[in-house]
Amino acid sequence: MTTEPRSAAEGARRADALFRRVFGGTPRGVWSAPGRVNLIGEHTDHNGGLCLPIALGHRTYVALRARADGAVRVVSAQHPHDGPATLSSPVTPGRAAAVTGWPAYIFGVASLLRAHLGAADPAAAVPGAAVPGADIAIDSCVPQGAGLSSSAALECAVACALAAVAGADIGDPHLRSVLVDVTRAAENDVVGVPSGAMDQSAALLAAAGHALLLDAADGTATPVPFDTAAMGASLLIVDTRTAHALVEGGYATRRAECAAAERALGVRTLSGADDADVVGLADPLLRARARHVLTENARVRAFVEELAAPVPAPQRLGALLDASHASLRDDFAVSTDELDCAADAAREAGAFGARMVGAGFGGAVLALVPADGAARIAERITDAFRAAGLPDPACYPAHPSAPARSER
């Protein structure tokens, strides 16, 4: 069984209803931002390379009303046992960083936005806007902790809502790029999760019917038309619902290995290394890590090239997904038995190709499947999990969807 995302009308209605129940009265509006899945280009963004996310139809909805006293109060339907969490004025990054748990994401965004959008500050990135305090109600159908970036969906929906009530034009491309920086800083510096800008860029800059080519070397973001229906295909996400204890340690270890490979190669980022120099690396482990980065960048380029064909061939795109999975499993060593099982079962059931997505050590697999095959392939993967004694995975369809926006 696959779980469709909520309709925008239903998502907005739920956030609005939660707001009225908890805070009383009516919100000023409802804003939303999507989760994302990365088509290809894994472990490349922290190595100065390429990735290619799409925004998902799964979105986080935020109903918000400004408060005159400068405080921020938040409630989330996904954490029903927590009453509203409050950060009284002054809402500063330092005070936000002292908060534990999910409210820190929201307080982080609110505090950093204040520093960037300030009526009194002529140096502000968007002068003339002052970010007020707010009552904020959240509801979401982005699965949390599945590697589909519920954290960026939350940050970006809150950032758009606050910017909009501050009087900024959230359709403005300059403001959107400021919001990418602010939301990423909230996650990195306030919550303390070291991540690149892929998640926030996808949530704020992606376009419906498109993938977004991100180049960490120069910070560019380029929309790439991606019409799965025209090629007789669709995307299926299989969340293995496993997060291994290794996640954080494993990620830090891989980053340290990449840094060691950079030093050995004398390059600033692995994406800037020469193939021949990587082949000549003495340490086989560092050689494999660097090889993954270079071959993965090449696969992103090949994927984008295929998408430029009059009718892209899903078989060729699928082969690139398979090769990405093999490289993440063998050269970068971040796959798991569950991820391998999901990718293998997807291929055996008729997928064009499949690969693990996200940092690895658990999380989800993305499969490119025939347009009418998603439900059947999801069932076959579930059968394979049961046969292997694993808990049932959760399956979601993925369509390239709209970025953060106002809902009502």
DSSP state string for 210-235: EEEEEETTTTEEEEEE--TGGGTEEE
**What does the alpha-carbon distance between residue 35 and residue 237 come to, in Å, rounded to a whole number?**
12
**What does the alpha-carbon distance between residue 90 and residue 279 come to, in Å, rounded to a whole number?**
54
Rank residues 113 and 186 by Cβ distance to ligand ADP and give the closer one: 186
Which two tokens mark 283? Answer: 């340490």
Rank residues 137 and 166 by Cβ distance to ligand ADP and give the closer one: 137
What phi, psi does 90 have (nearest 5°)? Answer: -85, 135
199 is an active site residue: yes
Among 144, 188, 242, 406, binds ligand ADP (CB under 6 A): 144
String of contacts with ligand ADP for each residue 85-104, x by CB under 6 A:
-----------------x--
Long-range contacts of 82-88 (CB under 8 A, 24+ apart): 84/22, 84/23, 84/135
Cα dist. 262→203, 219, 289, 315 in Å?
30, 20, 10, 34
Q: Does 140 bind ligand ADP (CB under 6 A)?
A: yes
Shortest distance (Å) from residue 103 CB to Mg ion:
16
Residue found under tokens 């990620």: 251
Within 13 Å, how many C-alpha atoms sit on residue 14's CB side? 17
Q: Which residues from 288-307 bind ligand ADP, rule CB under 6 A? A: none
Find out whether 328 and 42 touch, Cβ atoms under 8 Å.
yes
Shortest distance (Å) from residue 319 CB to ligand ADP:
27
String of contacts with Mg ion for each residue 148-187, x by CB under 5 A:
-x-x------------------------------------
Q: Does 147 bind ligand ADP (CB under 6 A)?
A: yes
Within 13 Å, how many C-alpha atoms sit on residue 157's CB side? 33
Selecting among 45, 135, 139, 199, the annotated active-site residue is 199
Q: Choose the stretch contacting ligand ADP; rule: CB under 6 A; options: 73-81, 211-219, 220-228, 291-299.
A: 73-81
Q: Which amino acid is residue 27, in one-letter code?
A: P
Nearest 5°: the CA angle 245, 346, 342 is: 15
Shortest distance (Å) from residue 15 CB to ligand ADP:
10
Q: Does 105 bind ligand ADP (CB under 6 A)?
A: yes
Shortest distance (Å) from residue 187 CB to Mg ion:
7
Rank residues 137 and 349 by Cβ distance to ligand ADP and give the closer one: 137
Residue found under tokens 């939303």: 32
Q: Does 107 bind ligand ADP (CB under 6 A)?
A: no
Rank residues 104 and 323 by Cβ distance to ligand ADP and give the closer one: 104
Shortest distance (Å) from residue 123 CB to ligand ADP:
31
Shortest distance (Å) from residue 162 CB to ligand ADP:
16
**What does the alpha-carbon distance between residue 64 and residue 44 come to, in Å, rounded to a whole number?**
36
DSSP state of 143: P
Residues near Mg ion, by CB under 5 A: 149, 151
Residues near ligand ADP, by CB under 6 A: 60, 76, 78-79, 102, 105, 138, 140, 144-151, 154
Q: Looking at the annotation, which residues are catalytic?
A: 199
